Amino acid sequence: MRVACLQYKSYEDEKKTLNKIIPLIYFAAEKKIDLIALPECATFLNINKSETMINASFEKDSFSLKLIKETAKKLNINILIGSLQTLEYKMSKKKLFNRSFLINRKGDIICKYDKIHMYDVNISKYQSYKESKTYESGDSAKIAKLKVNGKYFKIGMTICYDLRFPNLFRDLALHGADLITVPSVFMHITGKDHWHNLLQARAIETGCYIIAPAQYGRYFNKRQSYGHSLIISPWGKILEDAKTDKNMIISDIDKNQIKKARTKIPSLYVNKTYKLN
């Protein structure tokens, strides 16, 4: 399977962002890509909860979802929407979810995943984030089954801050994931120290390919996303790095490499408990 990650900055207006990324999707399709992966908050990003709630949509009303589904069908290509800010009623109240969608070549949603771990952190005296004030957290891990070139690939779905919770990745791998997607808007302040290390560790621990499309740019509130979209092998080798100057990276996914990595170092299958004295 040939995979491409798109890297860009989402604007506050979804149609403006779509005008930028739809041509990139067309360009990727010309490269005979099987799966195109978009980053977290794929079509818009707002400064606070109130603005996000105004611009977010229910699935059935989402302009972004409708257009990308139509594009997938027209181009006969699978597309991962890293996430869309999606409204849903919960206990009769309107709630917001950070939701990832996997769309197949027919334009059908075959899997969707709500981000489980909220980015609630205190980076410094001047920088703190409380994502849980905006979003409801998901409550279940998801693995999609995608048929490409006569083979089935199992895709574990995560979003950004989920990266810091290795048990989630281990569980996805133990339930058959061949690759794990990590669409992100990873902040520069932590990205420069943690992004590459964490993604490589997750690949090594699980023996999975890691597909991490990320945003890059400066935003309205002086935040800066780190970029460096990555595709990493099951051995932990960085196959492609978009750094800060590429809109797209491409790599092939070989299931044989997954088997080789897990055979050489079978730590994934060791289930051991430890006593603390």
pLDDT value for 273: 86
Question: What is the distance between the alpha carbons of residues 94 and 221, in angstroms, rounded to a whole number?
Answer: 26
Tell the burial category of 133 from Cβ atoms under 10 Å away from its Cβ (0-12, 13-18, 19+): exposed
Number of domains in the chain: 1
pLDDT value for 185: 97
Residue at 11 is within a domain: yes
Residue at 275 is within a domain: no
Q: What is the arithmetic mean of pLDDT over 6-31?
A: 97
pLDDT value for 267: 94
Report whether pLDDT(3) > 80.
Answer: yes
CA 70 to mean position of chain CA atoms: 20
Report whether pLDDT(115) > 90.
Answer: yes
Residue at 79 is within a domain: yes
Report whether pLDDT(99) > 80.
Answer: yes
Task: Please state whether the predicted TM-score (pTM) of the whole model is above 0.85.
Answer: yes
User: What is the percent of the chain with per-residue pLDDT over 70, rounded to a whole number?
Assistant: 100
Q: What is the arithmetic mean of pLDDT over 62-88?
A: 98
Instruction: Give catalytic residues, as residue numbers.
Output: 40, 115, 160
3 state SS of 159: coil
Tokens coding 222: 């002086």
Mean pLDDT of the chain: 96
Q: Mind giving me the DSSP string for 64-116? A: HHHHHHHHHHHHT-EEEEEEEEEEEEETTEEEEEEEEEEE-TTS-EEEEEE--
pLDDT value for 221: 73
Kindly report the CATH number assigned to the domain that includes residue 245. Answer: 3.60.110.10
Domain that holds residue 113: 2-266
> pLDDT by residue (tens digit) across 183-233?
999 999 999 999 999 999 999 999 999 999 999 999 987 789 999 999 999
Distances (CA, A) of 62 to 87, 93, 208: 10, 19, 32
Residue at 273 is within a domain: no
Which residues fall within 8 angstroms of residue 71, CB to CB, at 6 or more apart? Answer: 22, 25, 26, 79
Give the confidence band of 160 by pLDDT, cuts at 50, 70, 90.
very high
Residue at 277 is within a domain: no
pLDDT value for 128: 80
Give the confidence band of 174 by pLDDT, cuts at 50, 70, 90.
very high
Asked whether the beta carbons of 84 and 62 are under 8 A apart, the reply is yes
Give the confidence band of 123 by pLDDT, cuts at 50, 70, 90.
confident
Report whether pLDDT(126) > 90.
Answer: no
Distances (CA, A) of 76 to 21, 36, 40, 102, 229: 17, 11, 23, 14, 24
Asked whether the beta carbons of 68 and 15 are under 8 A apart, the reply is no
Residue at 274 is within a domain: no
Q: Are strands 120-122 and 128-130 parallel, antiparallel or unpaired?
A: antiparallel
Tokens coding 92: 């009769």
Report whether pLDDT(25) > 90.
Answer: yes
pLDDT value for 125: 78
pLDDT value for 139: 95
Report whether pLDDT(155) > 90.
Answer: yes
Q: What is the arithmetic mean of pLDDT over 92-106?
A: 96
Q: Which residue has the higher pLDDT, 180 or 275?
A: 180
Residue at 276 is within a domain: no
